[in-house]
Amino acid sequence: MNKSTLLKTGIIGSAIAALCCFTPALVILFGAVGLSAWVGHLDAVLMPALILFLGLTVYAFLKKDKGDCCETNHKADQS
């Protein structure tokens, strides 16, 4: 996967998971659709998803910084 794709995926996933964790948006949506019985199980899915996406964001950010430095030096050595 491309480094910027990993970073974008991590940021977007983190934002969506945080939005669903800290606001009643998903609870209201589940209630409107008729799936309100599943609301009690949301914490078991949303918190691990938030941690996973935050970890992916940090990994992609660190990998992107490290990769950009090495690629720049590599291109300068070839010139």
How far apart, in whole angstroms, are the C-alpha atoms of residue 19 and residue 30? 15
List, for residues 30-75, the tens digit of each pLDDT value.
899 998 888 888 888 888 999 999 999 999 888 876 655 555 555 5
- The count of domains in the chain is 1
Give the chain's radius of gyration (CA, Å). Answer: 18
List, for residues 4-41, the tens digit of each pLDDT value.
888 899 999 999 888 887 888 888 888 999 988 888 88
Domain ranges, residue 21: 3-78
Q: Checking phi first, is residue 34 left (phi over 0); if not, alpha (psi -120 to 50) or beta?
A: left
CA 77 to chain centroid, in Å, comes to 35
Question: Are 56 and 8 contacting, i.e. CB atoms less than 8 angstroms apart?
Answer: no
